[in-house]
Each structure stands twice: as C-alpha cells, then as structure tokens.
C-alpha cells in the first residue's frame, strides 16, 4: 500500500504538472493574442488546465499525507521535482507553434482522460471525466486552427510546418512509461500509454494531412526525461516567473 | 453595409445567447471571425465563458437589415398618438385578473 501510494503520488504529479505548465504557457498570451477573441480563447484554455492541475495536485498532497497543499506543490518545488511532459514547457514561439503544441497536447489529454475516466481510483476517474469535456473543446478549437493555418497562405503553411518539425521530437516523451505506470496499470488505476499512442498518431495524421502538412518520419530521435524530472532548459524560466511571489514572500495571501 | 476591400479585419458576426431552455435568444454582442465555425467558437469563448448560455446563434452582421436613423419619423411616430391600438377599451369579464 505504501509503495502503491508512492506511485500514485508520482502519477498525480505527472498529470497535475503537465496541465499546470501548459496552463502557465498559455497564460503568457494574455493581453498578447492576435485578436481579442483568440486572446480570450487561449486564457479560457489556460484556466481550464490550471483548474485540472489544482484538483490533481490537491489529490497528490492528500495521498502523500505530509500536509502539502496544491499551492505548496505548485510554488515550492524546483525544476527536478516537476513531472510535466517536455512538450508543454517548450516556448510559445509564434501563434502556429502555440497552436500546434496545444493541439498535440489536447489530443493526448483527450485520449488519456477518456481512459482515466474508467480508472479504479474514483478520484482520478472523476477528475478525468470532468476534464474530458474541457479538453474536447480544446481539441476542437486547436484542430480547427491547424486546418486553417496549414491550408492557409504560403507563409502560414510554412510556419505551421516549422512548428510540427520543431515540436515533433518532444512527442515521444508523452508516451514514455516506467515502473510507476506498470504498477498502477496492474492496479487498474493508470492508463497504458501504448494503447492510446496509435490512436493519437491517427488523430494527428488525419488533421495534419488535411491541413497539407507533412508528418516527420516515425523513427526521428525523441527526447525523453520528464518522468524522472530531466527537463529542457525552459522549465526553469517558467518556474522562476510562476513562483517568484511565493518564493519572495512565503505564505503571502491577498 | 459597405464592404471595405482594404480591411484586414475578419467579418463581423452578431452573437445571440439563450440562457435556459425555452428562453428567447438574446443579442449578446459581436465577434470577429473568418468563417462560421470560428465565429461559433469565438462566441463561445467570449460570451459563454461564465456559464451565461446553453445555446448560441451567430449571424453575419451583414445579413442583418436595419432601418436608417432618418426612418424613425415615418416608421415609429405614427403609432405614438393612437391609444386605441392598445387593448384597453374593453370591459373585462368578472373573474379575469389584470396583472
């Protein structure tokens, strides 16, 4: 039971941290969106993701049993302790990069939450079922943008293709599994990522093909490491900005 | 509406929201969007993000026909001095209550 709780804590951090960092990245667009409507759309998605993160991190704190709250976990951990997937910490780049990143991640969460809504852990199942509605919309919004950007002008097609090429190497990390996954899959709690990988590739292929974009070769080198806290250089900067207030004024309230 | 060929703005769409089943769709405001799917999504994001709607309509603003301000006189004034257009000259049967 102790071992299982350790794995469950780790698993909830992976889910919570991925949504948190994705939400933080999208929030960077607040006030900078290409049009008012899209500015609001991106911050809406950001708030959805941060909401998901809050529930997963709160649950992680309960499982750990050391009295850590969602805020303690979000604001008082360092880079190596974060378990978000590498994809979501990548820079926003231009609008095409942001949409592609969010499209890849939304398709992933859509399939992941669909599976997790059947989890034997009732808390995870409930969070996943609620979050599934949110990411279903994110997937609709981002895939519609990919279609328009890819099949738009010569420039928008080129920028969107560059986004695919630059982000592709971080998509392997989404499906990376270790002993934590193995243990929780056996207990009927976690999702076997091998099962959703094919479906994810099919979804991505369908939209990218329709958008007149080329998918990189499947054997391209993939960067991994999020499961053990090995991140790209970008996460540190995100945390520096996100955590600065709690670090400078611990326990500050307003 | 005259189309400005040099405009870099997307088309304007009027948004109508329905607050609950059976209620009328009411004008909420407008959004810019390149096509109807994005207009619907933008309307969703701008006008229903705080749970204000259960249904949305978007209509191209150019499709709305409106009277001109100078029409006000001949459109609306003639009805102002004809109180007999209002159904207030009938004796109500007993038992009928006025609200």
| CATH code: domain of residue A172 | 1.20.1260.10
Confidence of residue B1 (pLDDT cuts 50, 70, 90): very low
Distance from CA of A37 to the nearest CA of B (A): 6
CB contact under 8 A, A37 and B37: no
Give me the sign of the Cα torsion angle A139, A140, A146, A149: negative
| Domain around B36 | 11-89
| Domain around A224 | 2-248
Distance from CA of B76 to the nearest CA of A (A): 36
Task: Name the pTM for this structure.
Answer: 0.90
Question: Which chain B residues are within 8 Å of A148, Cβ to Cβ?
Answer: 34, 38
Spatial neighbors of A31 by CB under 8 A, at least 6 apart, are A39
Q: Is residue A58 part of a domain?
A: yes
Whether A210 and chain B come into contact, CB under 8 Å, resolves to: no
Q: Is residue A88 part of a domain?
A: yes
Which among A67, A70, A72, A73 is positioned nearest to A55, based on CA atoms?
Answer: A70
- Per-residue pLDDT at A45: 97
Confidence of residue B76 (pLDDT cuts 50, 70, 90): confident
Question: Which chain B residues are within 8 Å of A40, Cβ to Cβ?
Answer: 45-46, 49
Q: Is residue A180 part of a domain?
A: yes
Selected for mutation to probe chain B from A29, A37, A146 (highest B CB count within 10 Å) is A37
Q: Is residue B3 part of a domain?
A: no
CA distances from A19 to A24, A55, A88 (A): 8, 11, 8
CB contact under 8 A, B41 and A40: no
Return the bridge partners of B56, or none.
B17
The domain tally of chain B equals 1
**Residuewise pLDDT in 10s, chain A (254 residues):** 678 899 999 999 999 999 999 999 999 999 999 999 999 999 999 999 999 999 999 999 999 999 999 999 999 999 999 999 999 999 999 999 999 999 999 999 999 999 999 999 999 999 999 999 999 999 999 999 999 999 999 999 999 999 999 999 999 999 999 999 999 999 999 999 999 999 999 999 999 999 999 999 877 999 999 999 999 999 999 999 999 999 999 888 87
Q: Is residue A99 part of a domain?
A: yes
CB contact under 8 A, B45 and A35: no
The domain tally of chain A equals 1
- Select the more confidently predicted residue: A54 or B87: A54
CB contact under 8 A, A37 and B49: no
Which among A17, A124, A26 is positioned nearest to A77, based on CA atoms?
Answer: A17
Question: Which chain A residues are within 8 Å of B44, Cβ to Cβ?
Answer: 137
Whether A144 and chain B come into contact, CB under 8 Å, resolves to: yes
Q: Is residue A253 part of a domain?
A: no
CB contact under 8 A, B33 and A37: yes
A145, A38, A85, A240 alpha-carbon torsion, rounded to 10°: 150
Question: Which chain B residues are within 8 Å of A51, Cβ to Cβ?
Answer: none
Helix (H, G, I), strand (E, B) or coil at A193: helix
- Per-residue pLDDT at B99: 63
CB contact under 8 A, A41 and B38: no
Comparing CB atoms, the residue among A41, A137, A148 nearest residue B42 is A41
- Per-residue pLDDT at A1: 62
DSSP assigned state of A66: S
Q: Is residue B5 part of a domain?
A: no
| CATH number, position B63 | 3.10.20.520
Mean pLDDT of B20-34: 95
DSSP assigned state of A249: S
- Per-residue pLDDT at B50: 86
Q: Is residue B2 part of a domain?
A: no
Q: Is residue A254 part of a domain?
A: no
Confidence of residue B6 (pLDDT cuts 50, 70, 90): low
Q: Is residue B25 part of a domain?
A: yes
Chain A residue with minimal CA distance to B45? A41
Q: Is the pLDDT of residue B3 over 60?
A: no
- Per-residue pLDDT at A11: 98
């Amino acid at each position: 039971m102790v071992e299982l709780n350790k794995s469950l804590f780790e698993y909830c951090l992976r889910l919570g941290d991925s949504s948190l960092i994705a939400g933080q990245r999208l929030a960077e667009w607040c006030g900078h969106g290409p049009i008012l409507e899209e500015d609001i759309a991106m911050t809406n998605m950001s708030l959805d993701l941060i909401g998901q993160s809050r529930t997963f991190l709160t649950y992680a704190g309960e499982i750990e049993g050391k009295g850590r709250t969602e805020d303690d976990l979000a604001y008082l951990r360092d880079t190596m302790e974060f378990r978000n997937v590498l994809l979501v910490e990548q820079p926003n780049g231009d609008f095409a990069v942001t949409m592609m990143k969010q499209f890849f991640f939304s398709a992933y969460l859509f399939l992941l939450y669909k599976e997790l809504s059947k989890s034997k852990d009732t808390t995870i199942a409930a969070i996943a079922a609620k979050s599934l509605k949110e990411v279903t919309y994110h997937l609709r919004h981002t895939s519609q943008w990919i279609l328009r950007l890819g099949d738009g002008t010569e420039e928008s097609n080129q920028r969107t293709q560059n986004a695919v090429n630059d982000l592709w190497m971080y998509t392997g990390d989404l499906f990376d599994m270790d002993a934590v996954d193995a243990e929780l899959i056996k207990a009927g709690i976690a999702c076997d990522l091998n099962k959703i990988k094919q479906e994810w590739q099919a979804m991505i292929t369908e939209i990218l093909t329709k958008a007149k974009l080329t998918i990189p070769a499947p054997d391209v080198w993939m960067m991994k490491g999020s499961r053990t806290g090995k991140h790209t250089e970008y996460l540190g900067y995100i945390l520096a900005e996100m955590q600065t207030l709690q670090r400078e004024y611990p326990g500050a309230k307003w | 509406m005259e189309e400005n060929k040099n405009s870099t703005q997307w088309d304007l769409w009027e948004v109508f929201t329905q607050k609950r089943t059976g209620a009328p769709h009411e004008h909420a405001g407008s959004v810019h969007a390149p096509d109807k799917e994005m207009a619907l999504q933008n309307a969703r994001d701008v006008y229903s993000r705080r749970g204000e709607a259960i249904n949305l309509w978007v209509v191209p603003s150019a499709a709305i026909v409106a009277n001109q301000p100078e029409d006000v006189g001949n459109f609306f004034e003639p009805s102002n001095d004809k109180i007999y257009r209002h159904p207030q000259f009938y004796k109500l049967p007993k038992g009928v209550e006025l609200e």
